[in-house]
Amino acid sequence: MTDDGLTRRRALAMSGLALTGGLAGCGSDTGSGPVATPSTPDETATDGTDRGDDSGGEPTHTDGTGDQTASGTAAFEDLTVRAERVASGFTSPLALAIPEPGRRFVVDQSGQIYLHEDGSLREEPFLDVSDRMVDVSGYTEQGLLGLAFHPEFADNGRFFVRYSAPAREWVPDDYSHTFVCSEFRADPGAATADPDSERVVMEIAEPQWNHNAGAIAFGPDGYLYVATGDGGGGNDQGTGHVDDWYDAVDGGNGQDITENLLGSMLRIDVDGEASGTPTGTAGSDGPVQDYAVPEDNPLVGSDGLDEQYAWGFRNPWRFSFGPEGRLFVGDVGQSAWEEVAVVERGGNYGWNVYEGTHCFQAEDCPSESPRSRPLRDPVIEYPHGGQPVSGIAVIGGYLYDGDAMPEMRGHYLFADWRAGGQLYAAREVDEGLWPTTTVSVESDEQFGPMVLSFGRNPDGELFVCTTASGQVSGDTGAVFRLTEA
């Protein structure tokens, strides 16, 4: 592995611009890629006032039309950034964590975490979990998908990873694999972690191979946030997809809050003792649930799964916390629209009633769940074609507050998987969708053409993981630092 560049997420397409599935929200959606099909169950959050629905800051659907988009994707200013390649040779770099200045940890979908420090990339992986995963060769949305360092990593050496394991004994026979979130330990200054230190924290049965989301991150509150996709396939239907309250589209893990943890943003306490949740051993007769639940999660004490923080998602591939602690979630669409939402506690983000702000597979649709809770709009939406800002699979980024790119300060910087060597930026407005524009990228090295994820260092500066391949193969993956053009 050389010291330049990483690759993009592992699966995606069979070729750089192909739409075979993967992360991309295919129109036919035969089961490839991060596809989002929100379904709105009973939205049983709390009993009324303490749901977080009325805390402001995010638009909700006002009618069934969702007709508020076209002007949101028009270029509003001419923006350019410079990308400096800092590491390369990865297979599919789809996450980047920087717990302290100068130490960057790159997640390769094939199962390895690599340490980049002092201007060089260490050849030996910091951690390799490929022997615990399903096969991820070729095009797939499985693999090593997420990494989060404990807020006190410098003192306790704890970090958490998310990967796709073979189906455990308790997983239904017709399901695909097992979602695993585990804790590992390392000397905080060491070049490698202890692979035998694994403590499985959470397991979830995954019915299909795609729509796995994958990101995990600690919030400003110290709790671990975990993104889950709707279970795979198309329309939020098929094996492993439960019925929900919305009759216009059958199925609905996105709208369900009582049967499984799919199609949601979860919030758990990895420092507290597990309370009341069944705990097992990997491969035994039940999923491991070795964590506590924050008492202020919206469904605690009501009809719903306590781990749920927000729901109504299709494939929330990447998410981040803004400078003021706001949670930005990029949710990959299915056939027509990509979206980014500012997510609040107890919020329902509409899948599979809506795709973006548009009714999904229906002429009109409700703006509320049966409990009169609003189905919330995204703050950013763009189509799969026909506009300067368009694509097939949103790659969530960060609200920029660093110093290296003064022009970008206060903009939400993000991308599409099929970005074609450019990025996107959105400017916050008080009401409605945020105006969104393209961002040109200057670089001495090939940038992309596909983007897999973003990373942020403690100073607020941004990095981008790219690839020239749509498969978990080769070595075209690279990491770039963004600076002023």
Checking phi first, is residue 223 left (phi over 0); if not, alpha (psi -120 to 50) or beta?
A: beta
- Give the whole-angstrom CA distance, residue 46 versus residue 373: 11
Per-residue model confidence (pLDDT) at position 371: 87
In the chain, what's the furthest Cα-to-Cα distance?
Answer: 57
- CA proximity to 453, closest of 47, 45, 206, 146: 146
Give how far the C-alpha of residue 408 lies from the chain's centroid of Cα atoms, to the nearest Å: 23
* Residue 173 to residues 178, 330, 379, 433, Cα–Cα distance (Å): 12, 31, 39, 43
Amino acid at 117: E
SS3 97: strand
- CA proximity to 360, closest of 350, 370, 373: 350
Q: Give counts: helices (H), strands (E), the chain.
A: 1, 27
- Give the whole-angstrom CA distance, residue 259 versus residue 299: 13
136 token code pair: 């991820």
| DSSP string computed for 310-359 | EE--S-EEEEEE-TTS-EEEEE--SSSEEEEEEE-TT-B--TTTEETTEE
SS3 262: coil
Domain residue ranges of the chain, discontinuous segments joined by +: 49-484
- Give the whole-angstrom CA distance, residue 310 versus residue 222: 17
Per-residue model confidence (pLDDT) at position 61: 54
- Give the whole-angstrom CA distance, residue 418 versus residue 406: 26
CB 389 within 8 A of CB 436: yes
Per-residue model confidence (pLDDT) at position 41: 24
- Give the whole-angstrom CA distance, residue 156 versus residue 160: 12
Burial (Cβ within 10 Å: 0-12, 13-18, ≥19) of residue 459: exposed
49-484 adopts what CATH topology? Answer: Neuraminidase (2.120.10)
pTM score > 0.85 for this model? Answer: yes
- CA proximity to 311, closest of 376, 263, 379: 263
Per-residue pLDDT tens listing for the chain (485 residues):
443 333 222 233 323 333 334 455 543 333 333 333 322 222 323 322 232 333 333 445 544 443 334 446 656 778 999 999 999 999 999 999 999 999 999 999 999 999 999 999 999 999 999 999 999 988 899 999 999 999 999 999 999 999 999 999 999 999 999 999 999 999 999 999 999 999 999 999 999 999 999 999 999 999 999 999 999 999 999 999 999 999 999 889 999 999 999 999 999 999 998 865 555 566 667 999 999 999 999 999 999 999 999 999 999 999 999 989 999 999 999 999 999 999 999 999 999 999 999 999 999 999 999 989 999 999 999 999 889 999 999 999 999 999 999 999 999 999 999 989 999 999 999 999 999 999 999 999 999 999 999 999 999 999 999 999 888 999 999 999 999 99
- Give the whole-angstrom CA distance, residue 410 versus residue 417: 23
Instruction: Name beta bridge partners: 23.
Output: none
198 token code pair: 């694994």
What is the distance between the terminal CA atoms of the chain, rounded to a whole angstrom?
A: 28
Q: Which residue has the tokens 């329309």?
A: 235
